[in-house]
Structure 1
Amino acid sequence: MPETPGIVFAIFFLVPAIYAIKLGLEVMARLMELLLPIIVIVYVLLLVLVIPKLEYTKFLPIMVGGIKPVLAGALPNINFPFGQILPVAFLYKYVKGNGGGDGKVGKGGNTDFIKYCFAAIIIATILLTFRAMASAAAFDEESLKSLTYAPFSTIRAIEIGNIIERLDYFLLGAFYGTTFFKFIITYYIICEVINDVIGKGKPANYAVPVAILILVLMPFLLPRFDLILKTVNPYLFVSLPIFFMVPLLLYITIGIKEKRNSRGNRGVDG
């Protein structure tokens, strides 16, 4: 769909996103809880089905050009998707303590949030690693360099009995599903931040104005995919403080808050 205007995809993303913001954070979380396991199963199943089409000798030679090309390809990918875990940190204040649903902050409730975030990062890293390995084993070096998004071409190689083929559409569905989840989380956080700054109403009140702002700015901020690729490296160095300092400050804040709450609970018990 290269000739389809980008605004069409933006509208298809924004309309359900506005509806999700209107319904609230809990409904969004329930939707993700329902669909995310299905998406992961489809993703893993596709990787399993493509295994017979892979040639593992294409991994060799390993690091023939040294470590620099590896780092040049790996470092920019810190942004996508690992750097985008930052909006999830804003959801910390909605986490209930002790997992009991009482809304109180207690021992274990806050650390569980961090544990689940790290578990999600580890699972995503494993899945993306296997995806990259599958792409590397499916094509030679020159062909791999010419592909815009190699995983789609890799999954396209799946054939089952000369009947079932072109399963890349399932990967496309998983891709857009996870991208939509990521978008509505970030979208909700933007509305939440605006609501906190203004101090009036609720996040849902700002869903439509933010959507209009995105539609207006999108042609200027994201005009072409090749420009996005060119800005990955500069963005990496600009965002390094965000990747490390913000999570570190969040961890320190959680520790201080837990100590204060434990002291307060001891004082009450005493």
Structure 2
Amino acid sequence: MRQKENVSPKQMGVLFFTYMTGSSIINIPSPLIGKAGSDAWLSLLISGGLGMGLLVCMLFLYRRYPSLTYVEYSRRLIGVWPTAILSLLPLSFILQMVTGIVLDIGLFMQSSMMRGTPVYAFSLPILMVAALTVRAGIEVMARMFAIIIVLVICSVTVVLLLSLENYNWGFLIPVMPHGIKPLLHGAFFSFGFPYAEIFLFAMLLPFVRERSSGELNRTMFIGLIWNIITLCISIICTIMMFGPLAGVKKYSLFEVARTVEVQEIISRIESVMGMSLIAGSYMKATITLYVLSLYVSQLFKLKNYKVIAMPLALVAFLNILVGFKSDMDWTELVSVVHPLWVSVSFVFPLLLITLVALFRKPPS
């Protein structure tokens, strides 16, 4: 399977940046500002630093077992049944991630652009396209997503630059007016989304074509650093635009785009930001569904992960239909449950496997 599919270190770095930035650039600013206020960008720096620690663990395991995924080297390190038991939480959360990412697209469209349209009218097409992209393989994903993420970042950059005249630098001060507690609260939230989700790439690194770990390490760290910079800029610009109100505007960059008006020639460009959110979320949902399909196929020793991509997408769609009663249910889950769930599901298993690998003799 992996012998037929492979990508270069640079393509893996692009996939990594795309995954970490795609939907978070739109979804992170508002809730993070709501928790940390004007210090939200500092919270992001803290959580980004913790994310780098997870990336170090993941790359260490890749150097030790360059041809094995997380499931495969877990079996070698702790055994088949412990790996299966330890995989229950990661599998449940990855499925929840696919559900949540696609649900968020539907909620955004329903609340901001096409009011009254049911959420499933958006969710089903997105999941079907994501499943078809998964079946196309990681090589197609790497080439296609490289183009899409450039368009997304360019769109966001243009919107932020056109808003320059509306920024108020005074909204960024004072620093930590309410002490360190809101700062740490924001860091805990932003660590859960998106930095703990780095775990998923432990399943994808063996697809790298070249076995030059140095180049891959450099590319992955560059991708993470650019992600932190990009999110920090979007958060700072949102704070300078709306000040104390930034935390109550759900899709804050979409609201920033609504304020853009240049000589009555350029206006009402929020649809561009809306398309960026949809494109970014689609790419993240596709990568997550890919990892879920691969994880399930390797855990149950199926021959081909592609055949279960569509059934898993259907399960996610059914979860959207019956799993959430309202927008408030989803907001509470993301804000309260998500950071703790992701820490138990992703961080604990990755640290445990890394610790075991440290005390095991490296394979010859």
TM-score (norm 1): 0.81
Q: Distance in 2 between matches of 1:249 and 1:93?
A: 20
* Counterpart check, 1:123 vs 2:226: yes
Name the structure 2 match of 1:58.
Answer: 171
CA contact (8 A) 1:55 1:138 kept: yes
1:200 is matched with which residue: 285, 294, 302? 302
Name the structure 2 match of 1:268.
Answer: none
* Counterpart check, 1:190 vs 2:292: yes
Q: What secondary structure does 2:204 align onto?
A: helix
* Larger gyration radius, structure 1 or structure 2: 1
Q: Give the 5 Å matches for 1:1-270.
A: 1-2=110-111, 3-98=116-211, 108-109=212-213, 111-141=214-244, 143-231=245-333, 232-242=335-345, 244-248=347-351, 260=363
Q: Distance in 2 between matches of 1:119 and 1:225?
A: 35
CA contact (8 A) 2:200 2:288 kept: yes
CA contact (8 A) 2:192 2:343 kept: no
Distance 1:179 1:19, change over 3 A: same
Distance 1:6 1:81, change over 3 A: same
Distance 1:114 1:249, change over 3 A: farther
The one-letter code of the counterpart of 1:49 is L
Distance 1:220 1:76, change over 3 A: farther
- Structure number with the bigger relative contact order (C-alpha 8 A, sep ≥ 6) is 2
Distance 1:197 1:237, change over 3 A: closer
Q: Which moved more, 1:84-93 or 1:176-185?
A: 84-93
The one-letter code of the counterpart of 1:66 is G
Q: How many residues align?
A: 250
| Identity level (%) | 20
Q: What secondary structure does 1:97 align onto?
A: coil
TM-score (norm 2): 0.62
Q: Distance in 2 between matches of 1:94 and 1:152?
A: 36
Q: Which moved more, 1:74-83 or 1:149-158?
A: 74-83
Distance 1:246 1:252, change over 3 A: same
Q: What secondary structure does 1:139 align onto?
A: helix
Distance 1:168 1:83, change over 3 A: farther
Distance 1:63 1:6, change over 3 A: same
Distance 1:220 1:157, change over 3 A: same
Per-residue deviation, 1:34: 2.3
CA contact (8 A) 1:82 1:121 kept: no
Deviations 1:232-252 (A, max 9, x none): 333323332455445546767
Deviations 1:72-100 (A, max 9, x none): 233212222222222222101211234xx
CA contact (8 A) 1:155 1:167 kept: yes
CA contact (8 A) 2:167 2:240 kept: yes
CA contact (8 A) 1:39 1:177 kept: yes
Q: Which moved more, 1:180-189 or 1:39-48?
A: 39-48
Listed as ranges, the gaps of 5+ residues in structure 1 are 99-107, 265-270
